[in-house]
Structure 1
Amino acid sequence: MRILYHHRTRGRDVEGVHIRGVVHALRGLGHQVTVLSFPGADPEQEPVAGASARKGRGRLGAWVSRMPGVLFEVLELAYNLVTLLRMRRAFAHIRPQLVYERYSLFLFATVWLARRHGIPVILEINDSALVERVRPLWLKHLARRIEGWCLRRCTGLVFISSYFKHQAEAAYGPIAPSVVSPNAADLAHFDPARHDRDRLRAERGVAGKVVCGYVGAFVHWHGVNGFVEAIAARLAESPELVLLLVGDGRTLGEVRALVEARGLSDRILLPGRVPHTEIPSWIACMDYAVLPDSNHYGSPVKLFEFMAMGVAMVAPDYVPVAEVVADGQTGWLFPRRQLDACVERVLELALRPDERRRAGAAAREYIVRERQWRNNAEQLLGLLPEAG
């Protein structure tokens, strides 16, 4: 089948991981997939993107982020014209038999054009006008009108969590047939057997330690800064425990300052940002992991990648996380927004090596069985009329 995958994202970081995962899985099932991105946002180019290109995109992103909210949303609306022109060319050249789109707010052109051409169109819902977002939504009423129209008129919907699905059904009434398809992991890349754990731990200064890790953005909704502050005073209770927190973001400076002020540079390691290709080698150094916070609707990719590496995670009990982590079996849940409970669980597990190994092995088995990107591809294809 000829599939056109359209997105309006930067195609980088977690977005790029997800897009590549689905695209490569569809190709692995024998389909011809063409990715339609705006210039400079091809997710399949991320591994070879140069520093200068990234710097240029960073300047553009900073300029856009400072744009007044209403103006930004007007530009999002205007992007429908660009989409119509590019889609018409793509339809003529590729003649797709399916259009798959990573849904974006205010974007309706794809659904409208696909319906006019009689081509099935499936939307993947990672964002919505119904949820609280990092960037405030000014034209909320219009965004919801457009969103409801798209969700009712597309061929099928892929929600990354049941929370999104329930919100959409409550707000928009009867919507297109849908599936809940959380994120996944690439087992060829996230394979613990490919890494010499002892060598990596020695190289990174954590040999002989109990390592609790984190990989991802240092931003307020992941709560890393609050977690570090909460656990710093209690690290003396577990002398062998080391925190290995990988990544960068707005709150990294705050965390570094706290670590230095408390004299904990040997207990809380902050290597900064690493390329996605190197993340498995960092996870291989860890005995277990922590996700201090998330949100009500997201499906954290890092959760699946840790589990694929046989590293179970202490995580908040938001519905999308609890749909994936079986408490005490493939990981450990704590009541969301209760950092004290998170810290207690991390300290407790530092003393339980058998429990960490058992849960890690079960987590890996779960990903192998149910949450490879191939599973996502099979789910979305099941929404096509002939699949029923």
Structure 2
Amino acid sequence: DLQFLRAARPLVALPFAGRNRYLRRMAGLIDRFIAPSAFLRQQYIAQGWPADAILTLANGMDRRRLLQVEGVVLPEPPARPHFGFLGSLAWQKGVHLLVEAFNQLPPPAQANASLTIYGSDQAFPAYGAELRALAAHPHIRFAGPIAYDQVGAALQQLDVLVVPSLWYENSPLVIQEAYVVGVPVIASDLGALPEKVEDGVTGRLFPPGDSAALATLLQEFITQPMLSAQLSAAITPPPTVEEHAAQVVALYHGLLAEGPKTHRR
């Protein structure tokens, strides 16, 4: 209930104020912080954290897990382009916007496209029930939670991944996972998402909360059958876990070479 959350905000802020003071004290003992997005780095700086101590470093991905999917069998989508969502079924993730956008498509477009929603509603069962009630077309499928070893196969079935978040996202792993298998992304123009999705190059962006704008983008992919492949060709795969680890090890060596410091307080 949003009204309850707004009313409780001052009470919630009290323990967080103490937590933030403690974190700032601990920050003075740390030589480098790693943020997986420039957006998160700027958020820390805005809260008074030392800019010179925060490094932006993208997360590494296990490409083998996502690309080698032999033996994983998932139901075929009823029509293409095949749009999809992978994540928690929670209001802040904006899944209802995606369902509303598909509902807004003209009937011929709905008949020539499909939407699969992967995710659990265990934490928010009422929201999950609302989503299912909202779905107005048989080409909208709720596939439930997906196993870790099935993520690559599910993404490879998609023509477009949709990330319609209503809150700040830091660096969603699902976007990087989609890029490993060459799937473009439609995302909210919010938080770090525009940093991860280059509009018109590796995907498309829409104003957060605007289901009509999202429907327009879905229609683009339906009426332009080659659009998904064109965007896919421009995707640069994210770093591997091994590449990420090598960068972190190099950072450690650099700090050790600099020697002891007088820490901030």
Does the TM-score normalized on the shorter chain lie above 0.5?
Answer: yes
Q: Secondary structure in 2 aligned to 1:274? A: coil
* Corresponding residue of 2:6: none
Query: What is the CA–CA distance in structure 1 between the aligned matches of 2:118 and 2:39, rounded to whole Å?
Result: 29
Is 1:157 the counterpart of 2:33? The answer is yes
**Matched residues in 2 for 1:190 and 1:343: separation?**
29
Matches within 5 A, 1:338-353: 338-353=210-225
Counterpart in 1 of 2:194?
322
Q: Deviations over 1:31-68 (max 9, x none)?
A: xxxxxxxxxxxxxxxxxxxxxxxxxxxxxxxxxxxxxx
State which of 147, 150, 160 in structure 2 corresponds to 1:288.
Answer: 160
CA deviation profile, 1:197-236 (whole Å, cap 9, x unmatched):
xx95xx6142553211111111111100132124313251
Match of 2:143 in 1: 271
Task: Give secondary structure in 1 for the equivalent of 2:116.
Answer: strand
Deviations 1:166-186 (A, max 9, x none): 232233253662211233421
Residue 371 to residue 138, structure 1, CA distance change in 2 (3 Å): farther
Is residue 225 of structure 1 aligned with residue 93 of structure 2?
A: no
Q: Which residue of 2 aligns with 1:45?
A: none
Equivalent positions of 1:195-274 (< 5 A) are: 204-206=75-77, 209-238=80-109, 239-249=111-121, 250=124, 251-259=127-135, 262=136, 264=137, 266-274=138-146
Q: What corresponds to 1:169 in structure 2?
A: 45
SS state of the match for residue 155, structure 1? Answer: coil
TM-score by structure 1 length? 0.57
Give 3-state SS (helix, strand or coil) of 1:209's partner. Answer: coil
What's the secondary structure of 1:245's corresponding residue?
A: strand
Paired residues of 1:290 and 1:346 also in contact (CA < 8 A):
no
Instruction: Identify if the C-alpha distance between structure 1 residues 272 and 160 changes in structure 2 by more than 3 Å, giving closer, same or farther.
Output: same
Give secondary structure in 2 for the equivalent of 1:144: helix
Are the equivalent residues in 2 in contact too, given 1:329–1:362 (CA < 8 A)?
A: yes
One-letter identity of the residue aligned with 2:168: H
Question: What residue number does 1:372 align with?
Answer: 240
Verify: 1:182 aligned to 2:58, yes or no. yes
Alignment of 1:66-77 (within 5 A): none
Per the alignment, residue 173 of structure 2 pairs with: 301
Q: 1:257 to 1:173 in 2, by over 3 A?
A: closer
* Range 176-185 or range 326-335, more displaced: 176-185
| Deviation (angstroms), 1:359 | 1.3
Does the 8 A contact of 2:45 with 2:51 survive in 1?
A: yes
- Relative to structure 1, the CA distance from residue 137 to residue 299 in structure 2 (aligned partners, 3 Å threshold; closer, same or farther) is farther
Q: Any stretches of 5+ residues in structure 1 without a counterpart? A: 1-132
Q: Deviations over 1:134-177 (max 9, x none)?
A: x9454122111111112221121011222322232233253662
Establish whether residue 359 from structure 1 lines up as the match of residue 231 from structure 2.
Answer: yes
Structure 2, unmatched stretches of 5+, are 1-8, 259-265
Note the alpha carbon deviations across 1:321-349, whole angstroms, 9 max, x for none.
22222211111122233222122101211
Once residues 151 and 28 of structure 2 are traced to their aligned partners in structure 1, the CA distance between those partners, rounded to angstroms, is 39
Pairing 1:386–2:256 present: yes
Q: Alpha carbons of 1:288 and 1:226: their partners in 2 closer, same or farther (altered >3 Å)?
A: closer
Aligned to 1:63: none
Q: Give the conservation status (yes or no) of the 8 Å contact 1:184–1:305.
A: no
Deviation of 1:293 (Å): 1.4
TM-score for the superposition, normalised by structure 2: 0.81
Give the distance between the partners of 2:76 and 2:149, measured in 1 at CA: 21
Question: What letter is aligned with 2:256?
Answer: E
Matches within 5 A, 1:61-210: 136-174=12-50, 177-191=53-67, 194=69, 204-206=75-77, 209-210=80-81
Check conservation: 1:151, 1:175, Cα contact below 8 A. Answer: no
Structure-1 separation of matches of 2:177 and 2:49: 35
Structural RMSD (CA) = 2.6
The answer on whether the counterparts of 1:152 and 1:176 sit within 8 Å (CA) in structure 2 is no
